[in-house]
Chains A and B, each alone.
Chain A
Amino acid sequence: MIVHEVLVVGGGLAGLMAALSISDKTDAAVLSKIYPTRSHSGAAQGGFNAVLGRNDSIEAHVFDTVKGSDYLGDQDAIEVLCSDGPEIILELEKMGVPWTRSADGGLAQRSLGGAGFPRACFAADFSGHVVLHTLYEQVLRRGVKIYPERHLLELLVEDERVAGALVYDLASARIDVIRAKQVILATGGYGRAFLKTTNAHANTGDGMAIAYRAGAVLSDMEFVQFHPTTLYGTNILVSEAARGEGGYLVNTEGERFMARYAPGKMELAPRDVVSRAIFKEIKDGRGFNGHYIHLDLTHLGEALVADRLPQVRDLAIRYAGVDPARMPMPIEPAQHYSMGGVRTDILGETTVSGLLAAGEVANVSVHGANRLGGNSLLETVVFGRRAGKRAEDLAKNQPWPHLSAGTVTRALERWEVALSPRSGARGTGDSTFDIRRELTSLMTDQVGVFRIGSELEDAVARIRELQVRYRRLPPSYGVQPFNYALIDYLEVGYLLELSELIAAGALARTESRGAHYRLDYPQRDDEMWLHHTFARLRDGCPEFSSGQVKITRYEPRERGY
């Protein structure tokens, strides 16, 4: 049996920051389904919001975030996010992050959507990548134990508290028991529930679903962010920085159509507003070939594109065959981020004792109904650090939680059965690939930017049918080294479970707020719906309830850009 006082699950920004904030006096380890430097945090391009400019203020950052969240964000958490930002950015600077600089030698900042000030610190358009690698360097410096290519299977719960985890080792095909006093989830989002997504293959909501199975409350799962600008066809991300640096969104008539949707902010309106505008243009017949619109950077000049957006340029040349310095890029919105997640307080604690969460897997809730660009990277480091510190504090003052041999044996036996190829079930012609394909198409087609009651109802019913089909399927090839089919089997299970919560939450919420837009309920309804959607597993089924939104300073107002 492996023993660590604190077990961090996930090796992206939030996980590594959590591990680094735990002192040498506490034994912590990081577990990751891929090598930490392969984490999807590395694909983040635009930047980290933090108030550094003399004319900017924490209050302004708080207000922009609250308004961006369509007033569903918890304002106490948002105040933490914005107040901790500047200090943590400078801390990252001392760790060696190669930030892009302004002429005076300080950190350069750029404008991202929904912000009243150029507030995002960045390193060209590799912002997530360079910080991920810098944190990895620091983890090496500290000698933190890393378990790569290990998959969390289950949180071991005894006496209603987490006492450890079952972990599947991809290389040895062994199930290990890890005892821990505190477990921090930093496993990211579930983007792969959608056919059209910017997310990596690894982003399958593992931690969210496993926490849910362990009894944790998930919150606001119906709020899914669709990024306005992804390369048409592949849905590879084109950073909001492309618009922050001055890019235009243009329809077939050569019009900068955002003038009709958000005359104040134009292309730098928040993502929910821009994604809806793009789909509306396409629906009204002003999309190219009926499917996409243009993101035009040609007026910015080759030097600026090469200097500030080198990755965007490479990606567009390779995957869309277009050099954005010379030709407009074909773009369409696609799933990008999960506002919802495992409910936590501002210290990172979930509703299950011994379990914390930070980053995209968590819902603290700083993004409410819509996240602003530059706030998720900030969230990973601010709340990753808080979760690490809190976990250490808790672990220091607590005895080892009880974990009985019976609990461990029962869990191991259950997984042994679950992961064995069962005889007779093959040959039905069904497969996880088919189920995944149907699920992801359904989510993109019916649980996307524009939603409507009848389609959501149908989506919930069909997801439940897919769940039934899934339960009849055996895993492929059983327990063998590097059996990715087995991982696929596990992942499809997580996606099905979370998709039901997303679609059912969207069906229940009969209003439009932030990224959740109902064609049949196009108005925000504060009287009925100014609250969080909580979901927890009870007797094998989701049980929904509502949670209060914390409003400290900014009463809900109409949101216009």
Chain B
Amino acid sequence: MVVVVNGQEHGIEEGSTVARLLNELRLDAQPVAVELNGGLVRKMDYANTPLSDGDRLEIVTFVGGG
């Protein structure tokens, strides 16, 4: 199936979760905020939030410098 991550199409295995997607994007250890179809997904829910074909995600990385 295909989901849209930050405006770009991303192919991912059927039945994948948000956690799996973050792992594929190598973002699972980084401070990120995830919005799925316009709603916040909490970190504790990453592993039990399944993705569906056509889902739209915005994933924002927070950086700490300044």
A binds B: no
B residues with CB within 8 A of A: none
